[in-house]
Amino acid sequence: MLSYRHSYHAGNHADVLKHSVLTLCLEALQRKPGPLLLLDTHAGRGLYDLDSAPARQTGEAQAGIGRLWPQHAALLPASYREALREYNGDGPLRRYPGSCALLARARRKQDHALFCERHREEYAALEARYGERRGLRLHAGDGYAQLKAALPPASGRGLVLIDPSYETEADWRAVASAGQLLRKRFRAGVLLVWYPLLPPARTLLGALRALCTQGVSGWQAELTIRLPGGPGLAGSGMFVLNPPWQVDTLLQAEMPKIAAQLALAPGAGFRLQQHG
């Protein structure tokens, strides 16, 4: 379960979707001054070296964010684009900020962050980068367990990102259970779940859709770069529970253009489905 390393996949098409949705949701939530809890259950190491051997081995960043930067960077959400520029200037992409790096960069003084990571080496890198910051707490362990301890936040507002590797069947079940827990303990919270477009996603999505009842809405956004089949991941999705207002409209305006840039074969595209 701890063999997955995001260094092989940082900046790929799945990250483009995930980080577009994440930054748009955070931008929308931060339009109000009230403090937020920003909880990342699978934080990774934070910042990824695209010149590293793992990144060069797969070439996924080159086929992902590399197809958008810098010529089509205007399609990306502002804070996502600004983070890439902060780490790389306007030159070639050499460093890629993961989800928790985007959250840490955008966190305001009144916001509190909790980043969880189980892998020892990944956590060590995370701690070296963020271990001394006020308002930001790190946890070397199970991010799902931290949901019980951290929710609901005192402020009543927050965003939770769950994006495991889905290496085992247990991951799929744990995400569904986490969604149910958040629905019970933090009904007003914004939940973001990343998932690969693989057969087990049908069951997970059914469980997440079931949470969209009694005034709680949600939607799923999916980006594909080709039809299923063949090596590598053909596409992925983001399910958002309690989505901030108008994020779906912004995605529908720009993500089809992004999908066109990332397309590898017929069958590529973007779709967004509402629930609740």
Residues with a catalytic annotation lie at 163
Assign residue 59 a region: left if phi > 0, alpha if psi is -120 to 50, beta otherwise?
left
Q: Give the span between the Cα atoms of 204 and 199, in whole angstroms.
A: 10
User: In sequence order, which ranges of 30-113 are alpha helices (DSSP H)?
Assistant: 53-58, 60-63, 78-88, 99-106
Check if the beta carbon of residue 207 is closer than 8 Å to that of residue 180.
yes
CA distances from 195 to 32, 65, 97, 133, 274 (A): 29, 19, 19, 30, 17
Q: Give the span between the Cα atoms of 83 and 65, in whole angstroms.
A: 13
70 preceded by a cis bond (ω within 30 of 0):
yes
Other residues' Cβ atoms within 10 Å of the Cβ of residue 252:
13
Q: Give the span between the Cα atoms of 36 and 92, in whole angstroms.
A: 33
Pick from 3, 10, 6: nearest CA to 60: 10
Check if the beta carbon of residue 189 is closer than 8 Å to that of residue 152.
yes
Q: Give the span between the Cα atoms of 192 and 75, in whole angstroms.
A: 21
